[in-house]
């Protein structure tokens, strides 16, 4: 009985060698590639910001860009005459795009 157990467990040395590259490929396709794509889109969004754009920060602060500074910050007008200075990296691309889409849809209805 012990002979059959030894013979059954000693076969198939290529299974793990094929399984590891497949796992790496799946990990890259579903995790690394989409994250890199999202980071690239966020970078182009932040670089394209200009005066007058309506944005939402990751903290949920709504405002309009008053000035884009050279040090990676923007001056944000949150109410008439009230300004704050924030980092460009604190601007949410998803929320800002959603705000601008709903604002455009509301303007079209009027």
| pLDDT (mean) for 50-70 | 95
The candidate with the shortest Cα–Cα distance to 86, out of 65, 108, 100, is 65
What is 49-110's CATH topology?
Answer: SH3 type barrels. (2.30.30)
Please give the angle made by the CA atoms of 21, 27 and 32, to the nearest 5 degrees.
125
pLDDT for res 13: 67
Higher pLDDT among residues 80 and 105, named by residue: 80
pLDDT for res 49: 92
* Token pair for 85: 């200075």
pLDDT for res 20: 85
Least trusted range by pLDDT, from 17-21, 30-34, 77-81, 93-97: 17-21
Alpha carbon distance 5, 62 (integer Å): 68
pLDDT for res 102: 79
Where are the domains positioned within the chain?
A: 49-110
Count Cβ neighbours within 10 Å for each residue of 40-55 and write b for 16 or more, e otherwise. eebeebbeeeeeebeb
pLDDT for res 100: 86
Q: What's the mean pLDDT when you consider all of the chain?
A: 85
pLDDT per position as a tens digit, 1-12: 555 554 455 555
Q: Say if residue 94's pLDDT is above 60.
A: yes
């Amino acid at each position: 009985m012990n002979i059959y157990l030894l013979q059954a467990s000693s076969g198939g040395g290529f299974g793990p060698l094929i399984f590891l590259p497949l796992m790496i490929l799946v990990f890259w396709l579903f995790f690394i590639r989409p994250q890199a794509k999202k980071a690239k889109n966020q970078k182009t969004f932040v670089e394209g910001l200009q005066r007058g754009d309506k944005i939402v920060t990751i903290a949920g602060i709504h405002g309009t860009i008053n000035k884009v500074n050279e040090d990676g910050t923007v001056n944000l007008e949150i109410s008439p005459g009230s300004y704050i200075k924030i980092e460009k990296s604190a601007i949410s691309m998803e929320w800002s795009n959603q705000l601008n889409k709903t604002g455009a849809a509301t303007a079209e209805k009027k």
